[in-house]
Amino acid sequence: MILVTGATGLVGHHLLEELADLGAPATGLVRVEARGLGLPGGADYLVGTLDDPGPSDVLRGFDRVFLLSPMHEGQAELEIAFVDALISAGHRPHVVKLAVDGFQDPDCEVRFMRSHRLVARHLDAMHIPVIYIAPNLYMENLLSLADEMRDRGLLAVPGGHAKVGFVATSDVAAVAARVLIGDPEEHLDHVHVVTGPEALSYADVAARLSAVFAREVDYHDQSLAEARTAIHARGLAPWERDGMLELHEWARHGGCATVTGTVRQLTGREPRPLEDWLGELRGAFVGRPQELSPPRF
């Protein structure tokens, strides 16, 4: 049986859909019962949190666990607490952990990646069998910039000329589903870096936006000061604000330019191109904002 944490987020939702399509029973961990009633594919649910996931006898019923939590200052502590709860239950299931490409680089000092490294070290110290899914930046992160693109025709990011292998969360979930239902020994201790089909600069993204929506969208390479002001206006906590600036700096130096064939290799289908994703999310960019919160690294 598979337990999916982060079941109500974008990746978790897509993952439960994928598992249902593959005929793999799964249970979603939800904070409140009401959130569990609408899980896709008729998935079962377990009410709990990462630091209080439920009774030991229930946890022992899951032989595979997808470990995902929102990116915030306490992420590492919460995921480590969850791992400790599994161990306290006398259980060491195979864990498929969602991380971020770059976490495996010991020289990467972006705080988001450091958080994942802390969890990875704990999993290793506790001898938990683990497989990592490490996506590049999500296409969905562009949703946080949709208002300015729609209202001013401007894509403003401190991206320089850097390229990014943007990937759709649905493709990340598809990879995770295949890993969860496959032979874990084939993937054990492996890091599956998941990307879209190509690396795009933000100027490229602006051009794709212009082509898909038939309106001019210009790319403005923000200064660090401009970026700090814009990120502050989005209402992020200080830890997240500083992390976003670190992430942009990492990308500017080529940290997000990776492109892999992981989606094709593990799912048998090509990763979604940006144009396809933009067409599906058209309403968020040319209409009023949709009720869809973008995931944040």
pLDDT at 183: 86
- Between CA 61 and CA 66, with CA 64 as vertex, the angle to 5 degrees is 120
Q: How much is the pLDDT for 1? A: 92
* Residue 101 and residue 28 share a domain: yes
| 69, 173: one domain | yes
**Stated pTM of the model:** 0.94
d(CA 117, CA 100): 10
pLDDT of residue 295: 53
pLDDT < 50 regions, the chain: 292, 294, 296-297
Count of the separate structural domains present in the chain:
2
pLDDT, residue 123, reads 97
Same domain, 184 and 200: no
- CATH code for the domain of 174: 3.40.50.720
DSSP for 250-275 reads HHHTTTT----SHHHHHHSSPPPPHH
Per-residue pLDDT of 127-171, as tens digits, reads 999 999 999 999 999 999 998 888 899 999 999 999 999 999 999
Give the pLDDT score at 261.
98
pLDDT for 297: 42
User: What is the rounded distance in angstroms from the CA atom of residue 265 to the CA atom of residue 273?
Assistant: 16
176 shares its domain with 238 = no
Q: Is residue 24 part of a domain?
A: yes
Q: Domain range for residue 176?
A: 2-135+168-194
Return all residues near 125 (Cβ < 8 A) that are at least 6 apart. Answer: none
Q: Determine phi and psi for 217, rounding to 5 degrees.
A: -125, 120
The predicted structure's pLDDT at residue 63: 94
Same domain, 17 and 118: yes
Burial zone of 136 (CB within 10 Å; 0-12 exposed, 13-18 middle, 19+ buried): buried
Which pLDDT score is estimated for 288? Answer: 55
Alpha-carbon distance 267 to 187, whole Å?
Answer: 14
Both 104 and 242 in one domain: the answer is: no
CATH number at residue 217: 3.90.25.10
Predicted local confidence at residue 286, as pLDDT: 79
